[in-house]
A and B are shown apart, each in its own frame.
Chain A
Amino acid sequence: MDNVTNDIDELKKLEKAKPHILIVGAASTLSGMLCNRLKGRYKITGIDIDNLAEDQSFPGEFHQIGYTKRGVAEIFRSTQFSTLIHLGRIPASDKSRGKRYRENVAGTQNLLQLGLNYNVKNFIIISTHLIYGANRTNHLYIREEEPSNAAKKFIELAGSIELDHEATEFLWQHRSVRTVVLRPTFLVGKHVNHALANALRKPFCPKILGYDPLIQILHESDLIEAILLTIRKKKRGIYNVAGEGVIPFSKAIKLSGATPLPTPAMVLKGTNVCMSFSAGKFHLIY
């Protein structure tokens, strides 16, 4: 009996010793994938401005809360987190412009500051490659040190750019903590839910007539691997995350099993599809 009690105490100690990770944007499908890989080895707490989907579970505490709300500070006060993973960037096609800006900019700033105040030692922020902007003067392989030009042509990305700036500024200002900013390219995979991934799932995918831009894509599981690597390795800095090489958009459509539907730019121009495309590296709107 004493042995059993000792084992339980030992397990409790081990459980207590597990590092505690805070996932921001925990209701996303990517968070679900990440949690599946983290659970068991880490304790996890999640926060999101949206609630979990009906069929979604979370392997730890979950709080639905805006990132600028006072309740967020209470979460930091009650738990000592070792790592903060920010997956909660609101993309250009989601929520109202005001809300998007508030959560991406003020929300991120609040989270980072709270993390700093409550001794979080590792910050991993998932930004996006879209901040570089589609520009015909761009060279093909954009490096991390290059400016974020996206707002020049697509103002809806202002919040994402600002989020990235918050994170990079935090990286340089606070050297006592480890900050990593990841900028993944277009994500594909069955859990991913953005304009391009959704278009690729349909039997016919619109492609701008006369243009076949080169894109870089990344599988969702590769991004999860990159995040896990970032947790394990003690590196800091800004990293673009991309699959190897480039792929013409028409080939990406064919590989996904869809049929390219060449459509004149004028037809696509007024649609949401075009708006989302122009945010990426599509050479329609310069």
Chain B
Amino acid sequence: MNLQILNDLRNQLKNLVVPDEIRKKINIASPVLNSAGVDPWGLDPETLEAAAAIARWIYQYYFRVEVTGLKNLPQGRLMVIANHGCQIPLDALFVSYAMLLDAEPPKICRAMVDHWVPGLPFISELFTRCGEVVGAPHNCSDLLKNDNCVLIFPEGTKGSGKTIFSRYQLQNFGTGFMRIALETKAPILPVAVVGTEEIYPSLMNLKPIAKLLKFPYFPVTPFFPHFGLAGAIPLPCKVTLRFAKPIHFDESPDISEDKIHRLVSKVQLAIQNELNRGVKIRGNHIFTKAAI
């Protein structure tokens, strides 16, 4: 009886917090659910709705995200490739939210997370229920073969762990994603995320401490770690997502590594160009001006 009351209260609270728009968009994106209410990769639409409702405040009011170029998305499978310049994966949240709420048709974008993420308590659970999947090649190709949209940061922790002095300079891309794109014939959608690289202005990476804590990196910013958790509050920079045109590659997945490198360079160049354009438009007005 008590459990029933608690469940009713939870549902009413959810109806109050989750806007209809989010619910509709998730319905349109229509993940295929099994009898346990999750999709084949563990996504739970109820958790996604609640997370998207909270993300909405962060997206619209804290970082005031603006989007350009998000038109004429190809139907079906899609591989979204972005720069990874934030110490915590806020860029994944922004791109996924934009793909769900601003894209037409809405797409549930499944971010490929690093292998250490499943080891994080609570976060791993939340990420899985929201559709994130461990970035193993088989997971990625399985998702694409089932016409999903995946989000990949080919810079990996090299990008997210870099200092403010290398901001908006793309680190070398991994090449694994390209072979999967060719194998699954998935178009690639390059995205430049402008504004996230100043959210945590890392001055240096304390590698010994990172090694001790088993973190991929340990940033020192003007506020962290000396102001404790208060120093970890992100700066409210204005964020812009600049989507480039989708790129279709027709090459065979068995081409040589040299050729793969050349194709990866094309994608990297497309994102770097978008970044350069965006940063130029925005200038030094990191809190106020959109890169559009």
Residues on A lying within 8 angstroms of B by beta carbon are: 136-141, 143, 209-212, 214, 244-248, 251-252, 255, 283, 286
Q: Is the pair B142, A141 in contact by a Cβ cutoff of 8 Å?
A: yes
Beta-carbon contact of B38 and A136 below 8 Å: no
With A and B bound together, what is the CA distance between A210 and B34 in angstroms? 23
Q: Give every chain A residue within 8 A of B44 (Cβ-Cβ).
A: 248
Is the beta-carbon distance between B36 and A140 smaller than 8 angstroms?
A: no
Q: In the bound complex, what is the Cα–Cα distance between A178 and B101 (angstroms)? A: 54
Contact with A along B120-140 (1 / 0, CB 8 A): 011011001100011011110
Contact assessment for B42 and A139 in the assembled complex, using a CB-CB cutoff below 8 Å = no
Question: B residues within 8 Å of A by Cβ?
Answer: 34, 36-42, 44, 115-116, 118-119, 121-122, 124-125, 128-129, 133-134, 136-139, 142
With contact pairs A246-B38, A248-B38, A251-B38 given, residues A139 and B134 touching in the complex (Cβ less than 8 Å): yes
Asked if A210 and B122 sit within 8 Å, CB to CB, the answer is yes
A248 contact set on B, CB distance < 8 A: 36, 38, 42, 44, 128-129
A-B contact count (CB 8 A): 69
Chain B neighbourhood of A137, CB < 8 A: 115, 134, 136
Decide if A139 touches B119 in the complex (CB within 8 Å): no
Contact (A214, B119) CB under 8 Å given A137-B136, A139-B136, A245-B40:
no
Output the least CB separation between B118 and chain A (Å): 5
Q: For chain A, what secondary structure do more than half of its interface residues adopt (helix, strand, loop), or is it mixed?
A: loop
Tell me if A136 and B125 are in contact (CB < 8 A). Answer: no
- Among A138, A139, A141: residue with most chain B CB under 10 A: A139
Contact A246-B42, Cβ < 8 Å, known A136-B118, A255-B36? yes
Whether B134 and A136, one on each chain, are in contact in the complex, defined by CB atoms closer than 8 angstroms, is yes
Do B36 and A136 have beta carbons less than 8 Å apart? no
Contacts of B134 in A (CB 8 A): 136-140
- Complex CA distance for A184 and B40, rounded to whole angstroms: 18
- Nearest Cβ in chain B — how far from A127, in angstroms? 21
Residues in A neighbouring B36, C-beta threshold 8 A? 245, 247-248, 251-252, 255
Are the CB atoms of A246 and B119 closer together than 8 Å? no
* A140, A211, A244: the one within 8 Å of B133 (CB): A140
Q: Are B115 and A245 in contact (CB under 8 A)?
A: no
Residues of A contacting B39 in the complex (Cβ-Cβ under 8 angstroms)? 245
Q: What residues of A have a CB within 8 angstroms of the CB of B142 in the complex? A: 139-141
A75 to chain B, nearest CB (A): 43
